[in-house]
Amino acid sequence: MQQNRSAYSELIKAEAKNLGFIFCGIAKAEFLEQEAPRLEAWLNKGMHGEMQYMENHFDKRLDPRLLVDGAKSVISLGLNYYTDNTQSDPLAPKISKYAYGQDYHTVIKDKLKQLLQIINEKIGEVGGRAFVDSAPVLDKAWAQKAGLGWIGKNTNLINQKTGSFFFLAELIIGLELEYDIEPTADHCGTCTRCIDACPTEAIVGPYVVDGSRCISYLTIELKNEIPQEFKGKMDDWMFGCDICQDVCPWNKFSVLHNEPAFHPHPELLHLNSNDLKEITEDIFQKVFKNSAVKRTKFSGLKRNINFLDR
């Protein structure tokens, strides 16, 4: 049986690589004992802001067996999105690299479905579910447990060989596998570049981010008006923010992605400052048709741009 587990695990990792994932690690589906008090304290301090969904399904967030019937293994996967493309107008409101191309939720979900289908075809019928940042799953905790990297002081998962510009996703399945039991050591050392660089002081201490102060939260998750205390501190970000990753020394090892779906819309990077300040709903629908930017809606993007301009 142990031989089968090993062979199945190798098969899954090989197929994940064929689908374009740069990482694949496997952990036993069990209660996340270390994460429980951290999550509870973070929520109690209100650091999730208006993200009420973070309070929901507390038990399921900490135990995948409550989320997926018969869960035995959590397969953590990473998909690279790093690009050296940049917006042509340095004065234009900025968009996070991850949103240059098609919405990662759709791209990754398709790949996960393919991987689950391959598992069913080559191993046998295995119950399971795919997760991409849209369910009560603690992606970074599982990725760390599966040996994909360590959680840095900016709370992003960092890998020594490729940095942190990658998406995380999971397959939680009812099959016992060989588990990666060697978590990666923390290699942040005494570095505080991410903490020092955050213009809204969202990284309130090493390994703790006050989500309600994060520019990504303010430009995407926050549905009400952006608080005036952040006026002049947004560093011209209109959707998301890359600052704490851009300054991270480990991202000098980032390699360019080779996922066609993540190539930017032909017009996106050429929208100048005036184009974006005067953007119409028609242009928004055209340029961001299949983009993660749709999440903030036209009204949200206009709010963000207007806030930067006031």
The pLDDT value given to residue 52: 80
Comparing CA positions, the residue from 178, 187, 176, 182 lying closest to residue 251 is 187
Please compute the mean of the pLDDT values over residues 170-197 and round it to a whole number: 95
Please report, as a single letter, which amino acid is at residue 248.
C
12, HSE (Cβ side, Cα atoms, 13 Å): 33
Q: Is the pLDDT of residue 55 over 90?
A: no
The pLDDT value given to residue 310: 59
d(CA 69, CA 87): 45
Q: Is the pLDDT of residue 180 over 90?
A: yes
Domain that holds residue 105: 1-310
Please compute the mean of the pLDDT values over residues 43-64 and round it to a whole number: 88
pLDDT class for 5, splitting at 50, 70, 90?
very high
Comparing CA positions, the residue from 276, 283, 275, 263 lying closest to residue 85 is 263
Mean pLDDT of the chain: 95
d(CA 126, CA 132): 19
Please compute the mean of the pLDDT values over residues 184-202 and round it to a whole number: 97
DSSP designation for 218: I
Q: How many domains does the chain have?
A: 1
DSSP conformation letters of 50-66 = T-GGGGTTHHHHH-GGG
Please compute the mean of the pLDDT values over residues 246-255 and round it to a whole number: 98
pLDDT class for 176, splitting at 50, 70, 90?
very high
The pLDDT value given to residue 2: 59
Quickly tell me which residue has 């967030």 as its tokens: 61
For the stretch 19-42, pLDDT in tens is 999 999 999 999 999 999 999 999
Q: Is the pLDDT of residue 125 over 60?
A: yes
For the stretch 267-281, pLDDT in tens is 999 999 999 999 999
Q: CB neighbours of 123 closer than 8 A, spacing ≥ 6?
A: 8, 11, 175
Residues marked as catalytic: 133
Please compute the mean of the pLDDT values over residues 170-189 and round it to a whole number: 94
Please report, as a single letter, which amino acid is at residue 243.
I
Measured between alpha carbons, how far is residue 247 from residues 192, 257, 264, 290 in Å? 10, 19, 23, 29
Enter the pTM of the model: 0.95
